[in-house]
Amino acid sequence: MSDVMNAAHTGHRAHLSPADLARMLRYATDWLGVYREQVNALNVYPVPDGDTGTNMHLTMQSVRRELDTCDETSMPGVARAISYGALLGARGNSGVILSQLLKGFAETIKDLQVVDAAALGRAFQAAQKTGYGAVMKPVEGTILTVARGVAEGAQGEHIEDVLENALFRGQALLDQTPEMLPALKQAGVIDSGGQGYLYVVQGMLAQLRGEALPPAPEITSYAQEQFENEEFGFCTEFLMSEATKPIEEIRELVTPFGDSLLVVGAEGYVKGHIHTNEPDQLLATVGRYGKMLKTKVEDMSEQHTEILGMAGATARAEEEIAPTGLVAVASGYGLVKLFRGFGARIVSGGQTANPSVQDIVDAVRSVSAEKVIILPNNKNVLMAAEKAMELMEGRAVVIPTRTLGQGIGAALNFSPDVPAEELVDGMTEASRTVTTFEVTRASRTTNITVKDGRTLDIKEGNVIGLMDDELVQSGGTPEDSVLEMLNRHYQGQEIITVFGGPQHTQEDLDTLAGRIGKEFSMAEVETHPGGPDLYDYLVTVE
């Protein structure tokens, strides 16, 4: 900051034309880009997702794209480019708040011929008011606090005076943020979003003074090293058009799903951001009330781990609509995580909890892709999936996976960059190469003759084993069931993967893996917690 604050004046500016303002914000985008990694390294609040600088920079890049095509002789045109570009490009909690600060700024200047010092001050004041208004539970010690400081300081006779005083007061409050938020004090850093906002204002002043871009600072540490993962694991965002409900009602729909909630809108668009453990259900719920243009779900736990191993963060490229999306029906957090890792939008459900046709349709609509492949992963869900495909009128195709194992086999061969028509045959064939064993408990007493001619006497509560959804075993312990089915049906496959149900510990999984490895030494054995709730074990062989 000091280099800018002490730079020589190039003359006092009484007002800004629309073109002046456009140039300042373009340069502010580049200025923030220089410090993007530094801002990333500061991030600790509200969760250590580590991409505050990247998200704010991507938001500003979207503003710049709109400015590049607007009428720079028109203040309404420039103001619309600022507001509209910020909303469409807003990323992450910090990016969405930044978009609202820019919206308030733009609304104040849109009807002016030029922006003088007083009008610039009013624009910064409106910015902080709109920013606070967008957050359901504003927290001090964040970008909002710094925006308030900028607004309080934005006074002076000339444009440069307003920007200098805004930066001075904003910096003063930024320096106080560690005393407002314990997480910042613990990490020994100032607020990352607030710092990013000051770099935007600083870049505006630097352009006015004709200053060259500084070199990027060296990053030596990341604040995220001080923290463990947080309660809500998925940073979830959506951009929707043609909304059929007011923003306030959509915000109420989203609120129960988690925290760090922001739902904002302009010109018929609704932008949402939330940290949640149920991203797929959230997106499907919201998707009923408009046209989903873009979504993003990031596992913040995995992102946190990646950050700790980075020498420096890298910016993520702008997303484009992919040729193909994927929707999978699944339950059990381990299986859900696996399918999500393949790029799938999840519909919660499966055995005894079959999703409705509407649930699947909602999930398909929530995916921003030209065409969506649906994996029902249960024979009882297949019909609903096919009906959903019909309702989507050519935008979806079903691969008839009847078990979760078949779904995994298909998903392994999914690629969002390849047209669906080129994927279906390969994914279908791959699904058929996976054998699925499920171990659960009998819900009633019965006698059943199985395919190989044996008659199984089953009592309610007994352990039973199914191979590809066909009953093949009963009796013994759950572990005995797995070994008996493998002994009868293993045919030399290379990988055996075991998912443990919620009643089993990692120690149980390790013990079972040891027994399997001893009897089937030619196979690689993998274990994962988080199998379906109703199963002791789900085992795939491929």
**pLDDT recorded at residue 309:** 39
* Residue with more model confidence, 262 or 83: 83
**pLDDT recorded at residue 384:** 82
pLDDT over 60 at 373, yes or no? yes
**pLDDT recorded at residue 320:** 58
Highest mean pLDDT among 150-164, 337-351, 516-530 belongs to 150-164
Highest mean pLDDT among 167-181, 293-307, 379-393, 443-457 belongs to 167-181
* Residue with more model confidence, 59 or 17: 17
The structure tokens listed for 298 are 């990031």
- Rounded to an integer, what is the distance from CA 249 to the centroid of its chain? 22
- Rounded to an integer, what is the distance from CA 318 to the centroid of its chain? 14
Binning pLDDT at 50, 70 and 90, where does residue 415 land? very high
Residue 490: is it exposed, middle or buried by C-beta count within 10 angstroms (0-12/13-18/19+)? Answer: middle
In the chain, % of residues over pLDDT 70: 88
**pLDDT recorded at residue 502:** 67
Q: Which residues contact 97 (CB under 8 A, 6 or more apart)?
A: 131, 134, 135, 143, 144, 193, 262
Residue-wise pLDDT tens digits, 221-255? 554 444 344 555 677 888 888 888 888 899 888 88
Residue-wise pLDDT tens digits, 274-291? 888 877 778 778 878 887
Residue 180: is it exposed, middle or buried by C-beta count within 10 angstroms (0-12/13-18/19+)? Answer: middle
The amino acid at 58 = L
**pLDDT recorded at residue 46:** 36
Torsion over CA: 475, 477, 482, 487 (sign):
negative
Highest mean pLDDT among 26-35, 39-48, 94-103, 266-275 belongs to 26-35
Q: Which residues contact 156 (CB under 8 A, 6 or more apart)?
A: 117, 121, 162, 164, 165
Could you tell me the CA-to-CA distances from 499 to 234, 251, 380 in Å, in that order? 22, 36, 21
**pLDDT recorded at residue 32:** 95
pLDDT over 90 at 27, yes or no? yes
**pLDDT recorded at residue 471:** 87
Residue-wise pLDDT tens digits, 9-25? 445 889 999 999 999 99
- Given a contact cutoff of 8 angstroms between Cβ atoms, the answer to whether 415 and 511 are in contact is no
Give the separation between CA 542 and CA 539, rounded to whole angstroms.
10
Q: Which residues contact 302 (CB under 8 A, 6 or more apart)?
A: none
pLDDT over 90 at 348, yes or no? no
- Given a contact cutoff of 8 angstroms between Cβ atoms, the answer to whether 238 and 272 are in contact is yes
**pLDDT recorded at residue 195:** 95
- Given a contact cutoff of 8 angstroms between Cβ atoms, the answer to whether 257 and 200 are in contact is no
Binning pLDDT at 50, 70 and 90, where does residue 199 land? very high
**pLDDT recorded at residue 45:** 41
pLDDT over 80 at 50, yes or no? no
Under DSSP, the state recorded for 256 is G
* Residue with more model confidence, 185 or 195: 195
Phi-psi group of 397: left, alpha or beta (phi > 0 → left; psi -120 to 50 → alpha; rest → beta): beta
Residue-wise pLDDT tens digits, 494-541? 999 999 876 677 888 899 999 999 998 888 999 888 787 678 899 999
pLDDT over 60 at 2, yes or no? no
**pLDDT recorded at residue 489:** 87
pTM: 0.60
Binning pLDDT at 50, 70 and 90, where does residue 103 land? very high
Phi-psi group of 92: left, alpha or beta (phi > 0 → left; psi -120 to 50 → alpha; rest → beta): left
* Residue with more model confidence, 297 or 282: 282
**pLDDT recorded at residue 261:** 81
Give the separation between CA 364 and CA 367, rounded to whole angstroms.
6
Angle (CA) 108-113-118 rounded to 5° is 50
